[in-house]
A and B are shown apart, each in its own frame.
Chain A
Amino acid sequence: MKTFFSTILLSSLLLAGSAAAVEVGDIYYSDKTFSSSVQSGKKAIGVVYWVSTNKDFGYIVALEEAPSTMNVFNANVHCLEYYTEGTLAGDWKLPQRIELVRLGKYRVNNATVNNYAKINAVLAKVTKANGSKATALGNKNYVANSAYPYAVNPYSGAIGGGGGNAQSSGSKYSVRCVTAF
């Protein structure tokens, strides 16, 4: 009986297989698929920049950034209205601090993760749906969805910010929208 169930279970596992794990640096396409290299005929809309331990969920950064620096109020509106081929307004968001600190260089428990170089290497070979080049992450402060607001430089990993969340705030930062899977 034990063998019977083991056989069934093994068969089930083999039949089910395992879905391909998504990795940091994978390209995200408008048809909601991922690949580790550029696939012709597909339209790239983002790059995976963080995955969970089991690689079953993670964050995706947009291929472009807002055309100008913005205060956090306007940055939030920009990302809520942002869309691409295959996605709608509301599918993207201004990253919260937990999402933004993982975008570039960061150091946790004495181990440095440098996503800045890794993500920019992918962005350099990806074109947007309109055929133009993807925009590299810059050595500058990107704003987080926060009241203070916090801002993170993905090149250095430095966290700063300030200026408040008012619509009239004059503290402006670069803006990059993110989504998740």
Chain B
Amino acid sequence: MTKQLFALLLTTVAFPGLASADEINCTASPECATLGYTQTNCPKGGIRCPFDKTKMFCVSGFGGEDFSFKNTIYQYQIVFADGSTGTYYDDKKDPIGIITYVHPNGQGNHGLIMSLDQPPVESRAFALHYCANYTTKGTKVGDWHLADIGEIGTMQNGDEIDNTTQFNTINNILKTIPGAQALGVSFSYYYSRKCSNGNAYLWVDCDTSNISCNDSYFEAGHSSYKYPTEYLNIGNYDKNWYTQYGGRYNNTDLNPAPGCANKSSDDDYYIYGGYPFYYSSSYWSASDNPSGTTPYVVDLYQNNQTTTSSAKKGHFRCVAYL
């Protein structure tokens, strides 16, 4: 901040009168953006770039530097803490998010940043609080919030008329960023060998020992299933995991789920090949149904949305529209 202010002072004050014409001719005019003049409007006051009066450096009480993009941004670029963006991960910079939406003013200077962190499933109230206090290097508390339905929608398949692959596109980018966590992660659910009431398999959460086959189950042939009611899931479950991780119950490559081995009311709790067996891409939004108080939730993969009780636990993602 001090360094940048000093540069701003030099460029603002020194150039107009202190240097001779010859000296000025020998000096290439710096780009305003590289000097920190990245805004066009500063409601709380700012300094105009001497080389381009339309560019400004916004000042907000000198208590900290506002995040701003340092270059033209594009959808699906990685955002770094210094305000730069790029198509690829740069190990010399600190990544803080991915641009899922570019503000359509034609300047590419504002957009929606999706955080790289995928917190564990939680209540909607927790999600609101978590994101209101979320911060990263280069940003501050207040920059981030729980995505509203329009914002979380930018991560959802089919959010644009000619694009139905947002979910996979974003996850493929997240894979290239060390420490970034995928959208739509699995719950810590496994399955048991059988249900005593005849339903094929019981969804099992090792932390929820009182769950029963009447609460949640699935059949191998997908003809019947019931989601665990404590978790948010408005989409159809992804059948890919089923075929990917075994296709059906069999006795090979089955191991007791960690921490569940002693819970044998419905045989042992098992995982197939070490993978959790339950997947959801349903996310909380900060938006409520305007005619009531039930929050909107969206399924990013299956392009569903609805309203539901905030008592459940669900995925959520923090965003910053900067």
Contacts and interface: CB of A to CB of B under 8 A. Distances in A.
A136 interface: no
A159 B149 contact: yes
A93 interface: yes
B129 to A, nearest CB: 10
Contact of B9 (A5, A146, A149): A5
A159 B296 contact: yes
A22 B43 CA distance: 9
A133 to B, nearest CB: 27
B103 A180 contact: yes
B300 interface: no
Contact of A146 (B5, B101, B160, B291): B160
Contacts of B109: 57
Contact of A19 (B42, B160, B287, B303): B42
B161 A76 contact: yes
B59 to A, nearest CB: 7
A109 B128 contact: yes
Q: Pick the most buried of B9, B159, B286, B293: most chain A CB atoms within 10 A of its CB.
A: B159
A111 B59 CA distance: 29
B160 A145 contact: yes
B125 to A, nearest CB: 10
A102 B150 contact: yes
Interface residues on B, range: 35 or more
A117 to B, nearest CB: 13
Interface string A135-167: 000000000011111100000111100000100
Interface of B: 5, 9, 12-13, 39-48, 56, 58-59, 66, 101, 103-106, 109-110, 112, 128, 146, 148-151, 153-154, 157-164, 286-291, 293, 296, 303, 305, 321
Interface of A: 5, 8-9, 12-13, 15-19, 21-22, 52, 54-57, 72-73, 76, 91, 93-94, 96-102, 105-110, 112, 145-150, 156-159, 165, 179-181
Given A9-B9, A147-B157, 18 more contacts: A8-B13, A15-B48, A16-B47, A18-B43, A18-B44, A21-B41, A56-B42, A99-B104, A101-B150, A145-B161, A146-B160, A147-B159, A147-B160, A147-B161, A147-B162, A157-B290, A179-B104, A180-B103
26 contacts: A12-B9, A12-B12, A16-B47, A17-B45, A18-B42, A19-B40, A19-B41, A19-B43, A19-B56, A22-B41, A52-B321, A56-B39, A93-B104, A96-B101, A98-B101, A98-B150, A99-B150, A101-B148, A101-B149, A106-B290, A110-B293, A146-B160, A147-B158, A147-B303, A148-B303, A165-B161
